[in-house]
Structure 1
Amino acid sequence: MPEDLSEDLRARLRGSGYRLTAQRELILGAVERLRHATPDEVYAEVCSHQSAVNISTVYRTLEVLEELGLVRHTHLSDRAPTYHAVTGHTHFHLKCRNCGRVDSVDPEVVRPFVETLRAERGFVADVGHLTVFGECEECPT
């Protein structure tokens, strides 16, 4: 994990009454490496580096990291949420129902839609939580 992120993580955790543990650092590192991962996938990645963590610790830590604004989750299936680090750009997801491919898309693509929702409905959309399901151009129709 980059040193500046580690310091930012320490400061955010301390400010919320938590401390930076090796397990929290490993879990955030796993989310960053995997880019988009379910808690089970994060657990498997962490266990490949350290075996002294249990799945409930992964779930609790992901919740804490999300409260602190270090990770976000979205729903790329009807199962467990998928987490991604917020160190990159804000984005939404396209998920192919056929091959399972997930693409990250800049929110500017849906800006007109978001502005229409705000103007006509008084609704502020959380685009970073958005997943659009469909078929990618590489899959046969």
Structure 2
Amino acid sequence: MCQEQVEKALQQSGKRITQQRKILLDVILNGEWECCKEIYYEAVKRDSSIGMATVYRMMTTLEEIGVIERRCVFRVRDEVEL
């Protein structure tokens, strides 16, 4: 999905397209992230006024409109010290 499509989906769900949301969309769509903190660290480089709560709200909104899905991933380590 491209950024314009996501912005249209956000507008259709009644959300405003703010500058912070545009930055977050660009970060989210153009990277591979394992957690919201990683997205936050990249986004704050572009706009220091973006807060962690903004990232979490954006991710929740994107999940609600069906743009992303949440997955929990657990990996087994190759070697375990006992």
TM-score, structure 2 as length reference: 0.78
Gapped runs of 5+ residues in structure 2?
none
Sequence identity (%): 26
Q: Deviations over 1:34-79 (max 9, x none)?
A: 31321111111101221110111110011001112222211125xx
Task: After TM superposition, give the deviation of residue 13 of structure 1 in Å.
Answer: 1.1
- Correspondence for 2:25 among 28, 38, 57: 28
TM-score, structure 1 as length reference: 0.49
- Correspondence for 1:48 among 32, 45, 50: 45
Gapped runs of 5+ residues in structure 1?
78-94, 99-138
Aligned to 1:16: 13
Moved over 3 A (4+): none
Question: Root-mean-square deviation (CA), in Å?
Answer: 2.2
Q: Specify which structure has the higher proportion of strand.
A: 1
- Count of aligned residue pairs for this structure pair: 80
Q: Specify which structure has the higher proportion of helix.
A: 2
Q: With CA pairs under 8 Å and 6+ residues apart, which has the higher RCO, 1 or 2?
A: 2
